[in-house]
Structure 1
Amino acid sequence: MKKNSLFDSFILGSQQLNNRVIMSPMTRTRSSAGDEPNALTAKYYGQRASAGLIITEAVNIAPHGKGYLWTPGIYTTGQIEGWRHVTDQVHDNGGKIFAQIWHVGRMSHVSMMPGGEAPWGVTNEQAVGWDVFAHDEHGKLTFVPASVPRELRTDEIPGLVNDFRNAFKNMKEVGFDGVELHAANGYIFEQFMNATLNTRTDHYGGQTVGGRLRFTLEVVDAAIEVLGAGNVGVRLSPFGTYNGIPDSDLMEETYFALIHELQNRGIGYIHLVYELLPKGNIEQAVFENETLPVKLLKRTRDIFKGAIIWCGGFNQEKAQDALDTGLVDLIAFGRPFIANPDLVERFRHKWPIAVADRSAFYTRNGEVGYTDFPFYNAG
């Protein structure tokens, strides 16, 4: 059987992707006042349109969902118009673009919340030892501890689902090709799904798998209603403990129940986040990693018939090795896309891969470290 190449086209839901190289979502904190995407945002994504699919940085659905300064929203007129320029630029350059959508839940600070209120939590338990990007008491931009949240009331949750629904409508209006729900890395979806953290006693509570999944699936259903199932993806990080997500003996039960539900709904893809070990071949570097037992990936493939995207510190060689297993369909690259807007062509022609200094990741110096990385000149 012919093995798939990174450069083969792929049908994702109703979209035809030109290749299997995905630009992973990356927070860049580059929005203008009012959390609006700007001309540089459009240029940045347009430069990288040769990716099979671009997944944007995480986008805020409402002021109460924000956990990091200078991250874009999609709920005001200015924000919506800013994103329209982004999608136009990507499409004009022959690309496809999904928006990643999030609500950070408890991972916020009172200085960013409307009226200085407490962040919205699944419970009132603080993410002790974890920081967010905000102004400190002296007005300096820095990382500060996440504030103590307040537990969402049961009667508030339908309104939160509707905030997501409105965001999906705005995404459709401005021409996004689809949406990815950020259900990884300890934000609100994962907070609901974690059986240890979610001690609620209502029908969104963590005692049952149905309760743990209810909120996430309500938002997935809203996305399907607006955008169509094939244009919806969900990003997951099973076994992850980022942003204070505690260990749970029920993680696998919750994860596979969710995968079954997503398969039943026919969504376009799931996007799995794992870091590769730094040495060894793909079997050693991935399948022997305790955080990714091969049985989990194989069982996921057995259950889920849509596309599986894998993100985890890949280089070109390891990405091709991962495709060769047949267990995943698409490979997402994050940091390599920062300094290499033409990453796909660099892979294709074996051109050198530039490496961005970490200091460029979140700076706000206009084009510097953002849109000033050159395309390769083959001479």
Structure 2
Amino acid sequence: MKKLWDQPKLGNIELSNRLVMAPMTRSRAELNGVPGSLAAKYYSQRASMGLIITEGAQPSAAGQGYLKTPGIYTNDHISGWRRVTDAVHEKGGKIFIQLMHVGRMAHPDNTPAHHQPVAPSAIAPNEKIFTATGMQSIPTPHALSEQEIQQTIADYRHGAAAVIEAGADGVEIHGANGYLIHQFLGQSSNVRQDNYGGSIQNRARLALEIARAVTDEIGPERVGFRVSPLNLLGGVNEGPEAKDLYHYLVTELNQLNLAYLHVMHVGHEDILADIRHAWQHSLIVNRAGRPIEELSDDLNNNLADLVSVGNFSLANPDLVTRLKKKVALNEPNPKTFYVDDGPLGYTDYPEWSKI
């Protein structure tokens, strides 16, 4: 794992290592979307990671889909996130806040205004979602008009500015895992017949327009973008054109000189190899189900510049120390991933030195 401990540059910031904390929804924000009282401790505990990418924060009220997810569009949100970023920076860490609009993966009961979910097309994902009254079917979403799409892009721009005002080092745009941007990329979720549907170029249009708006607002060196080719979460399927779609998208994003591209990789090696060839900047790869002993394989094989981990970093606030000392890791407890019960399963995982 020797390459993990290099000190790479990402955009204009120096990282302490090549290990990245992947974004993970924790559903622990206050009801107004302000990061919860323990969030600063949770993230600062993991400040030894080369980079922290936070859980997704909605850039607007319409972007929320799950209970108690944080926002990043009001002054209160900014103040809450400032406590988080200050705590991470005090320990020498670097932190990007992820902007996540869930699109159709939502339920009105989970949002303050009880709004109808939105999407590229009025197609429900045929899934259930947890609400305060239990599991409910996700309703058919409202298909965004082109005017509403422009407002969504403006929301991302505003959210990016808020991220920087909150003291973060940068923004990750969530274009993966079945959420709004990914829904526009998918043939199964996008059947529009206007400028945002049909061809590869049209289905990628929203992703690129959001990326351009965000980079114009805060500078490309502070922006990352996440994709998940053929990850079928939320019923999104890019179809047989997936490789060509991502080749086009990544080639266009490459011209924006972003700080990084973040790939949630679920097993399509030809697509990952093509992305590696088309992308000329820092590439983060997160392999689903990757054993800890294979953590640096993509670095060694020149398929990635950094590697991100989810559950390993969730359960091990001192993951860097544990890996360097080659000691056993804490096992994550899935039953507490989304349970808002104070420190339980959140800030109470022990450090190795305290066991």
- TM-score relative to the length of structure 2: 0.96
Change (3 A) 1:181 1:319: same
- SS across alignment from 2:38: helix
Q: Corresponding residue for 1:172?
A: 164
Give the superposition deviation at 1:75: 1.4
How far apart, CA to CA, are the structure 1 residues paired with 2:268 and 2:4? 22
Q: Corresponding residue for 1:133?
A: 130
Give the superposition deviation at 1:267: 0.9
Contact 1:4 1:324 survives alignment (8 Å): no
Matches within 5 A, 1:246-285: 246=237, 248-275=239-266
Contact 1:65 1:105 survives alignment (8 Å): yes
Query: How many residues in Structure 1 have an aligned counterpart in Structure 2?
Result: 354
Contact 1:67 1:133 survives alignment (8 Å): no
Residues 195-250 of structure 1: CA deviation (Å, up to 9, x unaligned): 34311111112x22221111111110111112211221111110111101135121
Match for residue 141 of structure 2 among 120, 144, 149: 149
Whether 1:232 aligns to 2:223 is yes
How far apart, CA to CA, are the structure 2 residues paired with 1:82 and 1:378? 29
Q: Corresponding residue for 1:298?
A: 273
Whether 1:315 aligns to 2:306 is no
Give the superposition deviation at 1:336: 1.1
Q: Corresponding residue for 1:282?
A: none
Contact 1:81 1:174 survives alignment (8 Å): yes
Contact 1:192 1:212 survives alignment (8 Å): yes
How far apart, CA to CA, are the structure 2 residues paired with 1:362 and 1:152? 30
Match for residue 118 of structure 2 among 109, 117, 120: 120
Q: Corresponding residue for 2:209?
A: 218
Match for residue 70 of structure 2 among 66, 69, 72: 72
Q: Corresponding residue for 1:57?
A: 55
Match for residue 338 of structure 2 among 334, 348, 362: 362
- SS across alignment from 1:80: helix
- SS across alignment from 1:240: coil
How far apart, CA to CA, are the structure 1 residues paired with 2:14 and 2:148? 38
Residues 236-288 of structure 1: CA deviation (Å, up to 9, x unaligned): 1101111011351211111100010011111111111124xxxxxxxxxxxxx
Q: Corresponding residue for 1:200?
A: 192
How far apart, CA to CA, are the structure 1 residues paired with 2:75 and 2:151? 20
How far apart, CA to CA, are the structure 1 residues paired with 2:332 and 2:112? 35
- SS across alignment from 1:169: helix
Contact 1:213 1:258 survives alignment (8 Å): yes
- SS across alignment from 2:130: strand
How far apart, CA to CA, are the structure 2 residues paired with 1:115 and 1:231? 32
Q: Give the fraction of aligned pairs with identical amino acids, expressed as a percent.
A: 37
Contact 1:39 1:85 survives alignment (8 Å): no
Give the superposition deviation at 1:90: 0.3
How far apart, CA to CA, are the structure 1 residues paired with 2:349 and 2:137? 33
How far apart, CA to CA, are the structure 2 residues paired with 1:371 and 1:114? 27
Give the superposition deviation at 1:113: 4.3
Contact 1:181 1:233 survives alignment (8 Å): yes
Residues 320-379 of structure 1: CA deviation (Å, up to 9, x unaligned): 222110111111111011221000110001121010221121111111111111211178
Contact 2:185 2:238 survives alignment (8 Å): no
How far apart, CA to CA, are the structure 2 residues paired with 1:75 and 1:255? 30
Let me know the Cα RMSD of the aligned residues.
Answer: 1.6
Where structure 2 has 5 or more consecutive residues not aligned to the other structure, the ranges are none
Give the superposition deviation at 1:4: 6.0
Contact 1:195 1:250 survives alignment (8 Å): no
Output the amino acid matched with 1:183.
G
